[in-house]
Amino acid sequence: MKITAVRTIVAAVSSVMLFGLAALAQTPPLAPVPAQLAAALAPAALDQMLAPIALYPDPLIAQILMAATYPLEIVEAHRWVQDPNQAALAGDALAAALANESWDPSVKSLVAFPQVLAMMDGNLDWTERLGDALLADQTAVSNAIQRLRQRATAAGTLNTTQQEGRCQVSERGR
């Protein structure tokens, strides 16, 4: 009886220690944004970083921004596109070949834009900074793109044509 009581107490204490310590273990607080990244998120720095892509169509910008968070996959995809065996692929054959790759869907979507892949691979530092900025503050990135578009519109370089249209939506969707 004493042995059973001792075993029960030992089991209870062990459980409390095991689960109690696990419960006390907390996720450390998020580290503050490093000064270098904070400087990169300044409006002027974001404007400079996003200027090369700000006037691209929104769906393409979305894919570029997401793909920028996977810089190694950008390099792999660019090399893949440059392979003569892959360069000839189109349509269903291209889709089937891409299905074999483990890249993020945003990277796969850029295969249709080899010049964009080349730009991102050729400026890998820029690509990494772009991905870091997106992960740190999506709103600031989006605001910078809109700021650049407003400047282009004011300068008369962003116009509606028969081939391309643009719409302007306020923050409230009006």
Is 47 part of any domain?
yes
In angstroms, the Cα distances linking 46 to 74, 133, 151, 171 are 21, 8, 14, 20
Contact 46, 140 (CB under 8 A): yes
Is 168 part of any domain?
no
The residue segments making up the domain with residue 62 are 33-154
Contact 117, 78 (CB under 8 A): yes
Is 142 part of any domain?
yes
Instruction: Check residue 106 and give its pLDDT.
Output: 98
Is 24 part of any domain?
no
Cα 29-134-82 angle, rounded to 5 deg: 130
Query: Hey, how many other C-beta atoms are within 10 angstroms of the C-beta on 39?
Result: 11
Query: What is the share, in percent, of the chain residues with pLDDT greater than 70?
Result: 68
Is 125 part of any domain?
yes
Is 105 part of any domain?
yes
Structural domains counted in the chain: 1
Is 85 part of any domain?
yes
pLDDT tens-digit series, residues 94-138: 999 999 999 999 999 999 999 999 999 999 999 999 999 999 999
Instruction: Check residue 158 and give its pLDDT.
Output: 72
Q: What is the mean pLDDT of the chain?
A: 82
Is 28 part of any domain?
no
More reliable by pLDDT, 170 or 134: 134
pLDDT tens-digit series, residues 21-62: 444 455 555 555 566 656 668 999 999 999 999 999 999 999
